[in-house]
Each structure stands twice: as C-alpha cells, then as structure tokens.
C-alpha cells in the first residue's frame, strides 16, 4: 500500500470508530445509570380525581372487544375511571359488542386516519371532566393495578408518566427479539434517564398525562406518524418533566411477521429522523441559552442508530479492521479501541436486558439477528415518506394477564 492509501485507510478507520463510539458511550452511560433506578414510592397513593382511559382503535376488530373488557377489570374504584373506545373503521358486529359493554364508544371516520385525530376528536366530545388521561393501544392489556400505580406516580412537577410497557407474547423468534428490544429501551431511555435526573422517554401507549395539559397540548399536534415524539419534544421544550414507573405494567403485542416489523420500524425511524431535523437546532439553542438538557438530549436520541444495526456494525467493523490492522502492522492502540468498542457493545446489552430473557429461546432467537438487521436496513432504505402516511400495524389475539419482569 502507498502512503496515501495507508492514510485513507487510517482516516476511514478513525471515522468509523467515532461514528460507532459516540452512540456506544451514550448508551453505556445510561445503561449503567439504569442500574440505580428506583420505582416511585408514591405509587400506592389513590388520587381523588377521575381517570379517562383512551383507546384509539383503527380496524382492530380482532382485539378491541377483549381489550375493552379487560380494561374494565382494574383494581380501582369504578366511579373513578371511564374507559373510552375511539372506534375508527370498525365492523358493525364489533360496534354492537362494544355497545353492550359499560364503556364510552366514540365513533370516528377520517379521510386519513391518525391517532392524533382520534384522540383530539374524543377529548372534544368528552369535555373537561377528568384529571388524568391514560393512553392505550388497541392491543394493550393493563395489569390489574395499573391505574392505581400510574396515577399515584403522576405527582409533583410531573406532567406525564410512562408505564412499563412489556411483551404480551414471545411466541416467535421475531416477537422475542422485539420483546428484548423493548426491555433494553425501557432500561436505557426510561430507567437510565430518570436515574440520571432526566425525563423518561414515552412510547405512545401505556402512558398517563394530566388531562387538561394533555388536551391543550394535543390540540396543536398534527402528526401523521410519531405523535408521541412530537408531544414529548413539546413537553421537554417547555421545561416540564416526564416520569417513569417500572411497576405499572401494560402488556403489548410484539411483532410476529416480517412485513409488520418492517412497517412498524419504518414508521418509527421516519418519525425520529423528521423530528431530529426539525428540533435539533432549537434544542441546541435552548441548551446554551436556558440550560435545557432534557430537550437537547431528546433531540440527540432521535439520531442514535437502531441498536440492532449498531450491534451488527460494531462486530462487522471489528471483523474487517482487526485482521487488516495486524496484516498492515498498524498501531496496537487501534485494535485496543476496537476491542473496547466490542466490550462496550456487550456491556450495553448485558446491563440492559432483564434476567428473564436469559434462557435457551433467546439464544435460538439470536440466530435470527441477521434477518432482523436486514429488515431494519430495508426499513431505513424505504424511510422516505413514511412519516407522511398512516402505516397501520395489524394485531392478533392472545392475552397474557399475569406476568412479572425481573
């Protein structure tokens, strides 16, 4: 190799180390911080106010009736909460079944359906007679004490609390990997951030807001996809805080099919990229002028590479650069840095993954990681325009009502 080729090779290697190194350091910091998280002590308090449970249901005929029935079984005074199903494009048979339940049914239909429109229409119909709004997806099952815990955690200066959304099903390798990914995100972006004195990330369901605040906030939201990202940024920009309760469990159906996985990830990635571009400048300005770390941190989160792609990129780069460095007799420090990158990657996943995932099924699911990486790359490749259309994730059936995360 010529001196110019050596220089270009070294420059490329250092660039890759920097691009992979900063997200690894970020994730490792919060993975360690998550180990110091403690669930809110105030969660046992029963509030005097009334809760509305809002469940937008777009073509969710296969699950919504069971979800509505289950939502009524909360260990909470019946007069203190109301379950509202926002029915968008449901079949008449499903509507008839819902009308027989003691729930409030609000039928909506839009030219372009979105969760934002459904929630805004429902709150317009309902008025202002509530203190807390809980948002569920149409496949979500709350633990019996969810309302008691999540409402008791919404105290002090918090305007929102994210509950612990966890897997309802782990019945396929893809669903198991999806469940593991959610728990890793719970540890890093919720436990870790709260333990470090920052706000929890919200997910889009299994979350509670002060009703009046949420209603006003949502009135200015126009998002087609990723409405939770938009309201999260608005909350943090205004200087408010979001909490997290790891013991307020809500069970969420995990993806079983590759097509649904691609659509879901495509929607998420498109939303993150969109809001990074729109908010990073203002977030940096607010960091410098107002010391708003929460808002800036959230904008930075949106440009982090997907964990599954980061894992693949780190070990693929190691496989390429380590042997090349030995053959070309490069400085040993470069190989040391690659070994550090690999160790940090393992540490992030090791610290963040709950013990309940340490079993043979997870090991077998890991064999499908290459497939997951390909699906994520396809989602990235087709990201253009995904945030301007409603990509519905179809849900199936299969309920788990007793589950304990370690």
**What is the reported pLDDT for 383?**
55
Q: What is the pTM for the complete model shown? A: 0.85
Structure tokens at 167: 């897997």
Structure tokens at 324: 């090349």
**What is the reported pLDDT for 46?**
54
The residues, any chain, with a CB within 8 Å of residue 206's CB and separated by 6 or more, are 135, 136, 137, 140, 142, 162, 163, 164, 165, 248, 250, 252
Give the mean pLDDT of 293-307. 90
Q: Is 204 helix (H, G, I), strand (E, B) or coil?
A: coil
Bridge partners of 129?
A: none
Give per-residue pLDDT as tens, 218-273: 998 877 767 888 899 999 999 999 999 999 999 988 765 555 555 555 665 666 77
Does residue 402 surpass a pLDDT of 70? no
Does residue 187 surpass a pLDDT of 90? yes
CA distance 282 to 189: 21
CA distance 287 to 293: 6
Bridge partners of 158?
A: 241
Ordered by where they begin, the domains of the chain are 3-36+277-387 (no CATH), 41-254 (3.90.550.10)
Give per-residue pLDDT as tens, 208-231: 999 999 999 999 887 776 788 889
**What is the reported pLDDT for 99?**
96
Read off φ and ψ for residue 136, nearest 5 degrees: -120, 155
Does residue 404 surpass a pLDDT of 50? no
Give per-residue pLDDT as tens, 342-391: 999 999 999 999 888 888 887 776 766 666 666 666 655 555 554 455 44
Average pLDDT, the chain: 85
The residues, any chain, with a CB within 8 Å of residue 28's CB and separated by 6 or more, are 344, 347, 348, 351
Which of 175, 171, 193, 186 lies closest to 247 in space, CA to CA?
186
CA distance 83 to 66: 13
- Of 35-49, 60-74, 224-238, the range with the highest mean pLDDT is 60-74
**Beta strands 104-108 and 132-135, pairing class:** unpaired
- Vertex 115 angle, CA 142 and 397, to 5°: 45
């Amino acid at each position: 190799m010529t001196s110019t080729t050596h220089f270009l090779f070294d420059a490329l290697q250092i660039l890759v180390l920097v691009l992979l190194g900063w997200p690894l350091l970020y994730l490792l910091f919060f993975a360690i911080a998550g180990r110091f998280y403690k669930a809110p002590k105030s969660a046992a308090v029963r509030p005097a106010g009334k809760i509305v449970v809002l469940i937008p249901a777009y073509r969710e005929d296969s699950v919504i009736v069971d979800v509505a029935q289950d939502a009524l079984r909360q260990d909470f005074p019946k007069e203190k909460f109301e379950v509202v199903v926002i029915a968008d494009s449901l079949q008449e048979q499903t509507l008839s079944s819902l009308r027989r339940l003691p729930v409030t049914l609000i039928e909506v239909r839009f030219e372009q359906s979105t969760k934002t429109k459904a929630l805004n229409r429902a709150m317009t119909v309902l008025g202002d007679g509530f203190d807390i709004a809980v948002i569920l997806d149409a496949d979500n099952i709350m633990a019996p004490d969810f309302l008691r815990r999540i409402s008791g955690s919404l105290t002090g200066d918090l305007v929102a609390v994210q509950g612990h959304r966890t897997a309802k099903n782990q019945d396929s390798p893809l669903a198991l990997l999806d469940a593991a990914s959610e728990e890793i995100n719970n540890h890093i972006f919720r436990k870790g951030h709260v333990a470090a004195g920052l706000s929890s990330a919200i997910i889009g369901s299994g979350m509670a807001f002060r009703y009046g605040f949420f209603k006003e906030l949502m009135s200015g939201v126009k998002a087609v996809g990723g409405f939770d990202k938009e309201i999260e940024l608005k909350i943090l920009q205004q200087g408010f805080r979001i909490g997290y309760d790891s013991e307020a469990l809500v069970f969420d159906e995990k993806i079983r099919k590759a097509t649904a996985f691609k659509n879901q990830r495509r929607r998420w990635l498109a939303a993150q990229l969109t809001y990074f571009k729109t908010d990073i400048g203002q977030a940096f300005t607010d960091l410098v002028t107002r010391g708003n770390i929460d808002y800036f941190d959230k904008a930075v989160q949106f440009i982090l590479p997907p964990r599954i792609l980061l894992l693949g990129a780190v070990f693929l780069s190691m496989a390429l650069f380590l042997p090349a460095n030995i053959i070309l007799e490069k400085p040993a420090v470069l190989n040391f840095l690659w070994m550090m990158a690999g160790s940090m990657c393992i540490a992030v996943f090791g610290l963040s993954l709950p013990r309940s995932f340490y079993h043979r099924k997870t090991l077998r699911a890991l064999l499908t990681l290459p497939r997951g990486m390909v699906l994520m790359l396809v989602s990235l490749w087709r990201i253009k325009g995904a945030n301007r259309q409603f990509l519905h994730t179809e849900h199936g059936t299969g309920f788990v009502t007793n589950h304990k995360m370690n």
